[in-house]
Amino acid sequence: MTDQEITRVEESSSENEDLGWRAPFFTIWIGQALSLVGSRMGGFALAWWLTQESGGSATVLATASLVALLPGVLLGPIVGALVDRWSRKRVMVVADSLVAVFSATLAVLAWTGHLQVWHIYVIMVVRALGGIFHFTAMQAATSLMVPKTELARVSGMNQMLQGALSIITPPLGALAMSVMPLGAIMGIDVVTALFAVVPLFFVAVPDPESKARDANAHPVATVLKDVREGLRFIWGWTGLLILLVTAALLNGTINPGFALMPILVSKTFGKGALELGWMEMAWGIGMLVGGLLLSTWGGFKRKLYTALLGLVLEGAFFVVLGLVPPSAFTMAVGAVLLAGLMNPLVNGPFGAIIQDVVPPELQGRVFSVIGSVAGAAQPIGMAIAGPVADRWGVQVWFVIGGIGSILMGVMSVLIPSVRNLEEEGKAHASAGSASTV
């Protein structure tokens, strides 16, 4: 066989491989999307039930938010280590099934009239843990199911999905609450979970090659060792470490602003629940359009430039939101929509870089540590946000966070380890692989 014939065979094989990934991956992806509709409706119903049952207690709602947030912050690195050790397909099946079982139990409690507030806290912990395991396993499996050239587009589709869910699930949840009891809505959550679980039994989900392990080592010791390997990998990747710390700081300023959005709408702009719905829908529409843009465009060849451009523009729109006068509510809605449009351009390419650079056997740990570090500042920010907002208003959070986003985007170009994030990461991954041979 001539060199030209060999080249044609290789190109044909590559084309078939690129086409062959779509059916199995999107079979799982579509099932997960349908399941998320039921999950989001269930989450909306639980929040509304807590609001009614507690008489609108901010403490109860804040406690529920922290209960859902802390498992990811505290247990993320351990979850990642376990995902890297176990079959990612089984992790997703067990995680989704466990959440469905607890949702079914909660439905029975609601139907029989025995449901209490602490039951909601328990189900939120389980839903949070199941979500951490599922998200980490799915993100880590994606890099083995999707060609590297398509990772940015798939990330864009994921962002687009989040935007679509932000648009459709609140009104669906509100409609469901008006025509059926909580138990029936949790039953919908259980049924839609089947769309996520059943396809996994018929689609092959690849796992990375397993490393040889000491059979005599204690299981806890080996898990802790895996956690240290993930932390060591991130610590040695200077550019990623800088971005993680900065992302945590930004999350601690911007996210509390979104948590206090009802106060922004009511006290700053003097509007009501309808206008709050417009604000939330604007964010969802922006994410939907931004995700569609990223999934069709794919971003710049250097993925980090797409993320940094999105970060600077998103920060600028947050500053606008923080500075608009009380009489300019329409401008505030527009700023939220445009910031939402930029959000997929920030998160999508960043996730694609991790999937492209980090070795598959480490991705579970890396993704979970990123989630833990990025979310660590949120509880602190939420604790400070209330008193500060009472004194200076909610808008100050968006101004600070927006300016921080702009500075982060501009300064990142000036820091070599961040500017060359992709190249540094590939060199770091290659050095790590060579050292383990």
Render pLDDT for 170-194 as a digit per residue (tens, 0 to 9): 778 778 877 888 889 889 989 999 9
Nearest CA to 286 out of 370, 164, 390, 406 is that of 164
Provide the pLDDT for residue 431.
63
What's the whole-number mean pLDDT along residues 272-296? 82
In the numeric block, which tokens belong to residue 428?
């770091």
Residue 145, pLDDT > 80, answer yes
Percent of the chain exceeding pLDDT 70 equals 86
The pLDDT tens digits of the residues spanning 351-405 come to 788 877 777 777 777 777 777 777 777 777 777 776 777 778 788 888 888 898 8
d(CA 79, CA 217): 19
Residue 331, pLDDT > 90, answer yes
Q: How confident is the model at residue 333 (pLDDT cuts 50, 70, 90)?
A: very high
Provide the pLDDT for residue 7.
42
Q: Is the dihedral of CA 35, 38, 44, 49 positive or negative?
A: negative
The pLDDT tens digits of the residues spanning 18-45 come to 557 888 888 899 998 899 888 888 887 8
Question: Which residue segments constitute the domains of the chain, with CATH numbers given?
Answer: 11-204+213-436 (1.20.1250.20)
Q: How confident is the model at residue 15 (pLDDT cuts 50, 70, 90)?
A: very low
Q: How confident is the model at residue 432 (pLDDT cuts 50, 70, 90)?
A: low
pLDDT top residue among 175 and 329: 329
Provide the pLDDT for residue 8.
43
Lowest mean pLDDT segment, chosen from 97-101, 307-311, 328-332, 386-390: 386-390
